[in-house]
Amino acid sequence: MVTNNLKQHLNELVATHGVLFTKLHQHHWYVKGPNFFVLHEKFEELYGEVNEQFDEFAERLLTIGGQPYSTLAEYIEHSSIEEAAYDSAIPAEEMVKTLVRDFNILVNDLEKGIDLAGEASDDITEDMLIGYKTSIEKHLWMLTYYLG
């Protein structure tokens, strides 16, 4: 039986992905330096994946009787990661470090969601979260190795 805790957690994942999608665009637009081509392309790949999951979480939430957040204010209020204004130049390496921090937070959020879905016997949500966690962990490995 799907619980309100699971619905709330999925909604927090929706909010987190709304913020993360914007942050990845910001990095994509503003990255500079000798690794521009590699990072510009990588950030685009990542915001594409994040956007796909953003939609999947919202649609899954609707499927199980929830109401996904749908405003920027709700995303900012309920996200587990923080937005960051681009008001001065950010070195490319710092962008990657920020992304590693955000992805580590996301892994923790996904683990919590996997537990909640398991407790609710919601195999579909559990499977969705496990698959996505696997992908984020792979990205974390690659980004960490990129940083040396």
Residue type, 52: E
User: What single-letter DSSP state applies at residue 120?
Assistant: T
pLDDT for residue 3: 86
| Tens of pLDDT, residues 79-110 | 999 998 888 899 999 999 999 999 999 999 99
pLDDT higher than threshold 90 for residue 76: yes
In the chain, the domains with their CATH numbers are: 4-147 (1.20.1260.10)
The pLDDT value recorded for residue 2 is: 78
With a pLDDT cut of 90, the percent of the chain lying above it is 94
Taking CA atoms, 95 is separated from 25, 106, 108, in Å, by 11, 16, 20
Q: Report the C-alpha gap between 25 and 40 in whole angstroms.
A: 9
| DSSP 8-state secondary structure symbol assigned to residue 32 | -
Among the residues of 31-71, which ranges form H helices? 36-63
Q: What is the chain's mean pLDDT, rounded?
A: 96
H or E element in which residue 148 lies: none
Give the model confidence (pLDDT) of 16-74 as tens digits: 999 999 999 999 999 999 999 999 999 999 999 999 999 999 999 999 999 999 999 99
User: pLDDT band at 115, cuts 50/70/90?
Assistant: very high
pLDDT at residue 1 is higher than 80: no
